[in-house]
Amino acid sequence: MTSLDQAPQHRPVWPDVPVTGTLEEVTRIVRDAGLMDARPGYFALRIAANAVLFAAGWTAFAVLGDSWWQLAVAVWLAFAFGQTALVGHDAGHRQIFRTRRGNEVVGYLHGDVLTGVSFGWWVGHHTRHHNFPNHLSMDPDILRRQVIFDPGQRHGRPGAVSRFIVRHQAWMFYVLIMMEGLRLHLSGYVAARRGALRRHRNAELAVLTLHLAAYAAAVFLVLPPGKAVAFVLVHQALFGFYMGLLFAPNHKGLPVRDGEAEELDWLTRQVATSRNLLPNRFSDFFYGGLNYQIEHHLFPSMPRCNLRRAQPLVKEFCLRSALPYAEAPLVRSYLEVSAYLGQVSDEVRRLEDPAPRGAR
């Protein structure tokens, strides 16, 4: 079953005309422009600046001590954790170094050590997402959500709570993403405990456990219980919210598909299921290059600082090749996500609610 041709009118749909361009062609365009070349100087500055951001937050935490101003520090650290996770994302895609070892060192440091998220689990999870974006049964970023992206998914959401979420997911989605930080922490830890990590399982388990122990010790030794709990709730909820905001506009509200086999070629599946934010310097910083989602999905190993230059080249190629190219202003992108999720909720209600007597 495919939903590409059944997509609501407010969403981009796969065009009827055949695609004339090829992946080889657009790859040659960006390579000739030097946009696949490594940028070690940029990443050295990016990692150093992020280290300052991260260290400043924990230094302020230690200096403030027993104070409700620590909630402001929690907000700062939520942003610092998000920026740290983005560096781990770069490393997972081998944007920083061209060798696996160098990227793994950066990835495990920014994942397991600094944010308590398993780098090994995330790389496998995220690679499957890149291979099958917006595939209802093969994209793990769809499978692990509590909201649904097609009415047929409602059968896998039993229980009163899940039913409520599905029927109100247009706004519940933004409540649920506050739990994204907790879900990221737990998913990697559970994967390691179950032996799902192919490499460094015991080392990751040890580091993740040490991160949790050090985090809890720092918070509860410096703050009394009430303030400590408030700090953790604010910090982790906003970290999760930031992570959710980063990923929400990228694919949601765009065509989905299903079936046991992948129907679309690589070029089609990456472009037709991805949305860009209109480029500006704020988005480049806040989203860490994920605002250029089309270019990122076509060239995951392209250094994030090159995506801005690649964007007009890729857009011209897509329009010339009869490929859709979805882009939206920042706020409208979230409105499109909510509108789509609300439309799925409406379809679920029509399928499940009995018709009024007067309509029979």
What's the confidence (pLDDT) of residue 18?
Answer: 72
- Contacts (Cβ under 8 Å, ≥6 apart) of 97: 38, 40, 103, 106
Could you read off the pLDDT of 201-241 as tens digits, one per residue?
A: 888 899 999 999 999 999 999 999 999 999 999 999 999 99
Average pLDDT over residues 324-342: 94
Higher pLDDT, 13 or 136: 136
Q: What confidence category does residue 355 fall into, taking pLDDT thresholds of 50, 70 and 90?
A: low
Could you read off the pLDDT of 246-299 as tens digits, one per residue?
A: 999 999 989 898 887 777 889 999 999 999 999 998 999 999 999 999 999 999
What are the backbone dihedrals phi and psi of residue 132, each rounded to the nearest 5 degrees, phi first?
A: -135, 55
Higher pLDDT, 253 or 19: 253
Average pLDDT over residues 107-135: 94
Q: How far apart are CA 24 and CA 323, in angstroms?
A: 15
- Contacts (Cβ under 8 Å, ≥6 apart) of 317: 21, 25, 26, 29, 323
Could you read off the pLDDT of 44-84 as tens digits, one per residue?
A: 999 999 999 999 999 999 999 999 999 999 999 999 999 99
Task: Look at residue 41 and tell me whether its pLDDT is greater than 60.
Answer: yes
What's the confidence (pLDDT) of residue 191?
Answer: 82
Q: How far apart are CA 270 and CA 75, in angstroms?
A: 34
Could you read off the pLDDT of 150-200 as tens digits, one per residue?
A: 998 888 888 899 999 999 999 999 999 999 999 999 988 888 777 777 788
Q: What confidence category does residue 17 fall into, taking pLDDT thresholds of 50, 70 and 90?
A: low
Q: What is the DSSP string of 314-344?
A: HHHHHHHTT---EEE-HHHHHHHHHHHHHHH
Say if residues 148 and 170 touch (Cβ distance below 8 Å).
no
What's the confidence (pLDDT) of residue 190?
Answer: 86
What's the confidence (pLDDT) of residue 161?
Answer: 93
Which amino acid belongs to residue 359?
A: A
What are the backbone dihedrals phi and psi of residue 133, each rounded to the nearest 5 degrees, phi first?
A: -65, 135
Task: Look at residue 3 and tell me whether its pLDDT is greater than 60.
Answer: no
Task: Look at residue 114 and tell me whether its pLDDT is greater than 90.
Answer: yes
What's the confidence (pLDDT) of residue 158?
Answer: 83
